[in-house]
Every structure is written in C-alpha cells, then in structure tokens.
Chains A and B, each alone.
Chain A
C-alpha cells in the first residue's frame, strides 16, 4: 500500500562525479516516468518506461543521462560526470498502463534533490 519512494532524498555531488538515483514505483504499476524540476520551474519530462521497455527518452538532456528498469519494477536514473546545471529535483512517477481511450493517474514520489557543487 506504500506510495512511490525515491532514494536518496538529498544528494550532494562534486562536479564530475557520477550519481545514481533510485525509484521504487507502486507495486503493479506498469508505467514509470522520470521528470526533472529545476528551482522555480515546473517538472520537465525526461523518460518513460512501460515495464522494462524504455519507450520514450526524448527528454534526456544529454548522453550523460541514462535510465534503466531491468526487471520492470525499480528504476535507476544515472547521471555521469555531473555538471552544475544538473542541480534539480528529480521526480519519479508511476501509473497503471493506460488502455485505449482510458487514463490512469500518475503518482509522484517525493523526489531526490541533487546539488552539484
């Protein structure tokens, strides 16, 4: 019955370090999304999984960003060689699969606040 969880909640990285952010979706949720929320801005889409398949990665800002969901449940967003502009809150959301003509709500986790110094 738990919601979407994310870890760590806060991460401080030195410029150039690699980081890995974890998302545990709601059990049984097929769809998983990653969003990036810069300070004072709305969330922006990064990537989308349906089960283990990454169906849309059009929002990933550079090839330093990589996401995976190997068993169709937990997902990891990895950022290599972090830069200051990567500082943001990274939000994960999950939903049931949307059937034709239907809609399923995205449930958001609390986010991971990444600060790159």
Chain B
C-alpha cells in the first residue's frame, strides 16, 4: 500500500521568503510523485512530477522538488514567495507500472503575508 504524509497542515511565510512544504511517502514499489495546487473552489492543478528521470524536478510558477529515495521525501520549495502562491498544496503518489490512481496527503495550506 502507498501513503503520503505532509508535515504541517498550515504554513505561513512572508512575501519574498523561502517556501518549504514537506512530503514523505511510503511505497513498496518505485513511485511516481506529484505536487498539486488547489485554489479555493477550483480543481487541482499539477505543479510538478517525478517520474524516475531527474531527481530534482522543476515545475510551474518557480516551484521545484527533490526526490530523495533514502529519506523517502519529496519536499516542495520556492526561493521567494509571492502573494499569489497562497493556496492549498497536495503531495501525491502513484506506482510505476501499477494502478494509475493517485494517493494524496492531507494537504498544506500556505499563507503568504505581505
């Protein structure tokens, strides 16, 4: 079975500060890993994905994440937060070669203060 743990249900940063959202996963098979963003009353939008190529993955809006197998982590970072980054972020896992279904974490709500 696969699972995702997101540490911190709420993260607050100042505009211009580093954003770090933590994600740890559990998977008995090689995983695909994803970060999605959800704005209020909207669906999920894919920020970036790890699919067994480069371990440092760059996504949209200046976000990036690094796959660390030894730590079973896939933390999301952005060097400088913008007000428009305020949203809820979800980490998800699926299995390579297996079912396409996504298993999500509980989410982290990011607040950006002016």
- Interface check A45, CB cutoff 8 A: yes
A109 partner residues in chain B, CB cutoff 8 A: 43
User: Bound state CA distance, A41 and B102, in angstroms?
Assistant: 14
Asked if A1 CB lies within 8 Å of chain B CBs, one says no
Contact between A43 and B90 (Cβ–Cβ < 8 Å)?
Answer: yes
Task: Count residues on chain A whose CB falls below 8 Å from chain B CBs.
Answer: 26
Q: Which A residues from 31 to 69 make CB contacts under 8 A with B?
A: 31, 33, 35, 40-45, 48, 56, 59
Chain A's interface: helix, strand, loop or mixed, by majority? loop
Listed in ascending order, the chain B residues whose CB lies under 8 Å from chain A are 4, 9, 32, 36, 41-46, 49, 51, 90, 92, 97, 99-107
Residue of A nearest to B106 (CB): A42
A91 and B100 contacting across the interface, CB-CB below 8 Å: no
Within 8 Å of chain B (Cβ to Cβ): is A111?
A: yes
Give the distance to chain A from B27, nearest Cβ to Cβ, in Å.
15
Report whether A45 and B90 are in contact in the complex, using a CB–CB cutoff of 8 Å. Answer: no
Judged by DSSP, the binding face of B is loop
Contacts of B104 in A (CB 8 A): 35, 42-44
Given contacts A4-B43, A91-B44, contact A43 B49 (CB under 8 A): no
Q: Is there an interface contact between A95 and B106, defined as CB atoms closer than 8 Å?
A: no
A72 within 8 A of B: no
Contact check: which of B36, B45, B49, B106 meets A103 at CB < 8 Å? Answer: B49
Complex: chain B residue closest to A104, CB-CB? B100
A98 adjacent to chain B (CB < 8 Å): yes
Chain B residues positioned under 8 Å from A4 (CB to CB): 43
Q: Are A31 and B100 in contact (CB under 8 A)?
A: yes
Tell me the smallest distance from the CB of A32 to a CB of chain B, in Å. Answer: 10
A111 CA to B51 CA, complexed, in Å: 26
Question: 22 interchain pairs (CB within 8 A)?
Answer: A31-B100, A33-B101, A35-B104, A40-B106, A40-B107, A41-B107, A42-B92, A42-B104, A42-B105, A42-B107, A43-B90, A43-B102, A43-B104, A45-B102, A45-B103, A91-B43, A103-B51, A105-B46, A105-B49, A106-B46, A110-B43, A111-B43
